[in-house]
Every structure is written in C-alpha cells, then in structure tokens.
Amino acid sequence: MAHINEIALLSPIAAVNSGGRLRLYVLSNDGNVRQINYEGKWVGGVAKNVIGSVKLTSPLSATSLGELEAIRVYGIAENNTISEFAYDQGKGWYSGGLTGKFRVAPYSSVGAVFLAKKRKLRVYVQAEDNSIQEYSFVDGNSDGWYKDQNLGPALPGTAIAVTAWGNNDNEIGIRVYFQDAEGKVIERAHDARKSKYWYKGGLSFPGPFPRTPLAVVSWEGSAHVRVYYDTADGTVREKAHDGSGWYDGGFSEASVPASRISALSIKGADLRVYIQTGAYVTSFSEFVFNGDGWIECASPLPPF
C-alpha cells in the first residue's frame, strides 16, 4: 500500500466513463495528475500513469466523448492559467490548446463538459474578478478557444460542478453549480431551446462552509440531477431533482473533512460517487447506488 501515500491529502478527483469502463484522475504530492483505470478491475494511479502536472492546490475536472475516444482533463498551472490535458484515440496524451491561454484567480476551481456528443467544449473557471467565466471551443473553429459568457459573481475559491445533456445543438442543456458571494450553493442554467443566455436555476441552499466541495451527475436530460456536497462535520450529502423540485437525497457518507467529490452514471440511476474516507489516509473509496440504497463498493482504490 506504499503507493497510496503518494496521493495528496484532499486530492481533487475527476471521473469519466463509457458504461462500466472508468477513468479517474487524482493528484500526487508532487503535483502530477495520475490516471486510475477500471475495466473489470482497478489498476493504475502510480508514477507511470502520469498525464501531466499542475500546481499542488489545483482542482481537476474531466470530460469525455463516446467510448472514451476523446478525454479532456483540466487543472490550474503554477502561473494561474488553465492547463488542458488532451487524449485522442490513436494519438495518446498531449497538451491541449487551452493550456496557458487564460489567467484565472489563484484559487479558481474548474468544471468542463463536451456538448451534444461532439467536439464542442465548455470550461468554467473563476476569473480574477471572482466571477464565474465560461470558455468555449468548437472543433473546426479557426479561433480555437474563446471567452464566452459570464455567469456572475461567486465566493472566492468556490468549487465549480457542471453537467450537460442533449444529442443535438438545439437540445443542449447545461447546469453549473457554485457558491455565490454570500456562500449559498446555487444553480446557473442554460437551455438551447429557451435562450442562448444563462438564467437562475432552481437550486439554492446555504453552503455548509466556504469552498465546500461540489460534484454533480445527471441522466435522461434534465429529468434526474444529483448534486453532492461536503458538510461541516465531514459528511458528504446529496441534493436530488427528479423533474419537480429539489429535495434531500439519500447519500450520506462520512469522509475526511473537505474531501473532494466526483460522481458519474454508468447507466441511468446506476450511480458512482468517489470520496476520500480516510482509508489508508489518502485513498479514495467508491460508493454505488444499487436501486435500494448506497453501498461501499471498492475501498481503497489504487494506487496500491
């Protein structure tokens, strides 16, 4: 288990999947981003699985297309610019075009999504004026990455969680979650059918503490959304939406205080949540929703 000690306490974690094929990204004590794989068994997370490096306080966010033929992982570099680590099938890992292009607040988080199952990307960070800023990329656009819309002021250092859906451009829906300047966890929404602009979403609740970790997962479009957050006593909890208002969900698991969180859907309500529980100090644990409730499925996760 010696390799587990190489993972940072309060490491960020980002997860992507294609069905039951999973990829997790975590941060080591030397600032390297490591990949952990699941294809029938958990492997990876050691030095040979490094995909890039970021500053030691960096967040991580990841998004993917299809059968994991394209993966993008985002963090914050030492000079407080966005780092993009890109994977394309047949090409391997390389530095993406967003790397070094835009400066952010030194405490910025990051959230990212592919849109409409195409190479359309959106990345959300905290700008130097503390607002949440959107950056956009469309494959084939000669301008590459560009500054898009602003989602308004936010608490300095807020976590940022984002989810999206839609198979076609006119079906795109995006939801972004962060703490506003007063510390409330809020939702900002974009629906292509309604407008090209962002509007205030339905979720708003007092944040348990400043910079509380956040994660989100959705399925069947806007029909089902789950937001995960850490509380002051180190319990990770859930807010749920099933088409008619928000309510307290059933996830409630003890973590190390301020554990970072990631969540994904294998298929529909077959959900996975990843948090640091204190097992072997810095390892992550996987929790699975099996239809009847949440169970701890794998702990510890690699590296072993």
pLDDT, one tens digit per residue, over 3-18 is 999 999 999 999 999 9
Give the closest residue to 154 by CA, choosing from 185, 181, 129. 181
- The pLDDT value given to residue 2: 80
Q: Determine, yes or no, domain membership for 146.
A: yes
What is the pLDDT averaged over residues 107-129? 97
Each residue's pLDDT tens digit, 24-43: 999 999 999 999 999 999 99
What is the pLDDT averaged over residues 158-171? 96
Q: Determine, yes or no, domain membership for 110.
A: yes
Distance (Å, whole) CA 47 – CA 26: 12
At residue 145, does pLDDT exceed 80? yes
Please count the other Cβ atoms lying within 10 Å of the Cβ belonging to residue 6: 17
Which residue's structure tokens are 């592919």? Answer: 114
At residue 248, does pLDDT exceed 70? yes
Give the closest residue to 259 by CA, choosing from 273, 239, 240, 242. 273
- The pLDDT value given to residue 159: 98
At residue 143, does pLDDT exceed 80? no
Percent with pLDDT over 90 in the chain:
95
Q: What is the pTM of this model?
A: 0.98
| Residues of the domain holding 253 | 2-298
The number of distinct structural domains making up the chain is 1
Distance (Å, whole) CA 66 – CA 11: 27
**CATH number for position 288:** 2.120.10.70
What is the pLDDT averaged over residues 178-191? 98
Q: Determine, yes or no, domain membership for 262.
A: yes
At residue 45, does pLDDT exceed 70? yes
- The pLDDT value given to residue 139: 80
Q: Determine, yes or no, domain membership for 304.
A: no
- The pLDDT value given to residue 291: 82
Distance (Å, whole) CA 27 – CA 269: 28
Q: Determine, yes or no, domain membership for 303.
A: no
The average confidence (pLDDT) of the chain is 96
3-state SS string over the chain? CHHHHHECCCCCEEEEEECCEEEEEEEECCCEEEEEEECCCEEECCHHHEEEECCCCCCCEEEEECCCCEEEEEEECCCCEEEEEEEECCCEEEECCCCCCCECCCCCCEEEEEECCCCEEEEEEECCCCEEEEEEEECCCCCCCEEEEEEEECCCCCCCEEEEECCCHHHCEEEEEEECCCCEEEEEEEECCCCCCCEEEEEEEECCCCCCCEEEEEECHHHEEEEEEECCCCEEEEEEECCCCEEEEEEEEECCCCCCEEEEEEECCEEEEEEECCCCCCCEEEEEECCCCEEEEECCCCCC
- DSSP-assigned beta bridge partners for residue 174: 164, 190
Give the closest residue to 173 by CA, choosing from 113, 239, 244, 247. 113
Cβ neighbours of residue 100 under 8 Å, at least 6 residues apart? 77, 79, 81, 82, 83
The answer to whether residues 178 and 161 touch, using CB atoms and an 8 Å cutoff, is yes
The answer to whether residues 231 and 237 touch, using CB atoms and an 8 Å cutoff, is yes
At residue 141, does pLDDT exceed 80? no
Each residue's pLDDT tens digit, 285-301: 999 998 889 999 999 99
What is the pLDDT averaged over residues 191-205? 95
pLDDT classification of 142: cutoffs 50, 70, 90: low
Give the closest residue to 157 by CA, choosing from 195, 114, 206, 214. 214
Q: Determine, yes or no, domain membership for 98.
A: yes
- The pLDDT value given to residue 235: 98
Q: Residues 28, 30, 31, 32: what is their CA dihedral angle, to the nearest 10 degrees?
A: -60
Q: Determine, yes or no, domain membership for 48.
A: yes
How is residue 176 written in tokens? Answer: 């972004």
Q: Determine, yes or no, domain membership for 292.
A: yes
The answer to whether residues 50 and 33 touch, using CB atoms and an 8 Å cutoff, is yes
Phi first, then psi, for residue 170 (nearest 5°) are -80, 0
